[in-house]
Amino acid sequence: MTESQYAVILVYSTSHALRAEQVLQQAGIGCRLIPVPRHLSSDCGVCVRFERIHRQAALDALQVAQVEMEGMYDI
């Protein structure tokens, strides 16, 4: 079994997700909006998925841009 290599950022709304996506892209981190995995939240919205190796860089970029998030999880 291959180990999953992604992490996701859970945010409050789709607008926040788009903001986060933009911040990651500007930081050179490839990402994609996907539906929130059911085991993480019952929310019906989207979250931002990116490669786990960029975890710290993503956290830094989001902090600098002051994007609020609910959490970051490996999936």
Residues engaged in binding another protein (CB under 8 A): 12-19, 33-36, 41-46, 68
Question: What is the smallest separation between the CB atom of 7 and another protein, expressed in angstroms?
Answer: 17
What CA–CA distance (Å, rounded) separates 45 from 33?
Answer: 10
Question: In the numeric block, which tokens belong to residue 4?
Answer: 């999953």
Question: What is the smallest separation between the CB atom of 6 and another protein, expressed in angstroms?
Answer: 15
Question: What is the smallest separation between the CB atom of 29 and another protein, expressed in angstroms?
Answer: 18
Query: Would you say 24 or 46 has its CB closer to another protein?
Result: 46
Helix or strand run (H / E) with residue 71 = strand 71-74
Sheet holding 31-35, edge to edge: 31-35, 46-51, 6-10, 71-74
Query: Would you say 13 or 53 has its CB closer to another protein?
Result: 13
